[in-house]
Chain A
Amino acid sequence: MHELSIATSIIEIAEEFAIKNKGANIIKIEIEVGELSGIVVDSLEFALELAIEKTVLERAKIIITTIKGMARCKQCGNEYVNSDWYTACPQCASMDFDITGGKELQIKSIFIE
């Protein structure tokens, strides 16, 4: 359950943000989780639910957006969905690709009152 560590880190970042912004009241936080980030969104939601109690996020709305895993084929240049690291290019069947999206694990925005 490293999602609990991740939840703790999210709260730490939010608390640092609140301090820097003179105790701004956080009403919403937007989090982006890539399909290739190694994080299970359901577990993260569950962990956050437990962890935000008595923190600056206690009353905040938490929005988690999943970002698709994407690859660009190095043989034919095709860009395609690769949700598992090992999907071959559907156009030319090559396994030679760069991952171009889906590794995100970030706090995108914080909304204050």
Chain B
Amino acid sequence: MCDTCGCEGDSPVTYNKPNEEHSHDEKNEHSHEHPHHEHPHHHDHADKHHSHDHKHEHGHSHGKEMKIEQNILTKNNSLAERNRGYFEAKNIFALNLVSSPGSGKTSLLERTLKDIGQDLNFYVVEGDQQTMNDANRIAALKVPVIQINTGNGCHLDAEMVNKAVKQLNVANDAVLVIENVGNLVCPSLFDLGESKRVVVISVTEGDDKPIKYPTMFHSADICIINKIDLLPYVDFDVEKAKNYASSVNHHLKFFEVSVKTGEGMSAWYAWLKDTQQH
């Protein structure tokens, strides 16, 4: 069994493009794919391999040690490297957008698409456990998008992104934004092959988030502090948050923005355009 495809039958991972022209009846158009069902689950081994009685080692309960020293994430990491190679070959600039639920990832993306969608060729992969809501918000802006619903899965992995990107048919020189499942824990372990990892926090969260979830902040390249329009109403200390974040990762680059008012967004756009070209 596994959490992403649920071998036991419940909640497979699905990939859906919002319906461009008509009909919101997306239920009938689910393309069900079960990516994890490709690897063999050898449930019949017990019967096959019970012919070892020619090699009795009496009294030996320790057995023979075989050194493995294999990283458990090897499979995801190598698939991520394959994605990365594909992106590099096509000069695709890929961002992995992570945050707690509701920090403003989709809002940030919507505003970015509205403001500079003309200047850069955007494609979007949306990751959520359920619903087409976020993909529909992006599709409303006439930007190509695919929704991954992970079911019980708490993060996207490189294999899901690989499938989604193939279906999206991303053009050369594009900017691909992958919005991960809202979660600051699990996505930190799963490299998707992105060029840059962008973590979003909002000022309605605690300013100690970076040290409560250090693995994520350690693995990110960019930290966007969102909803600064709300600073007068909350106790969030921006400098403190930045210091905490820098203490787990002194390479982090910060942007302080309000997606709502647009404050600070031009610096983010300048970075996007500048970095995309290199």
Contacts and interface: CB of A to CB of B under 8 A. Distances in A.
B9 interface: no
A113 B50 CA distance: 11
B40 interface: yes
Given A23-B49, A38-B215, A105-B73, A86 B43 contact: no
A18 B66 CA distance: 11
A85 B40 CA distance: 38
Contacts of B68: 13, 17, 106-110
B61 to A, nearest CB: 8
Contact of B3 (A4, A12, A95, A105): A4
Contact of A112 (B46, B64, B155): B64
A80 to B, nearest CB: 15
Contacts of B153: 5
A47 to B, nearest CB: 8
B3 A5 contact: yes
Interface residues of B, number: 51
How many of chain A's residues touch chain B, expressed as a range?
Answer: 35 or more
Nearest to A87: B247
Interface string B179-209: 0000001101110000000000000000000
A51 B211 contact: no
A9 B70 CA distance: 11
A23 B185 CA distance: 36
Interface string A10-47: 10110101110111110110010000111100000000
25 contacts: A2-B154, A5-B3, A6-B189, A8-B1, A8-B3, A13-B72, A15-B41, A23-B49, A24-B49, A25-B52, A36-B214, A37-B189, A37-B215, A38-B185, A53-B1, A84-B211, A85-B247, A86-B244, A105-B72, A105-B189, A106-B71, A107-B69, A109-B65, A110-B65, A110-B66
Interface of B: 1-4, 36, 39-43, 45-46, 48-49, 52, 57, 61-76, 152-155, 157, 185-186, 188-190, 211, 214-215, 218, 244, 247-250
Interface of A: 1-2, 4-6, 8-10, 12-13, 15, 17-19, 21-25, 27-28, 31, 36-39, 50-51, 53-56, 58, 84-86, 95-96, 105-113
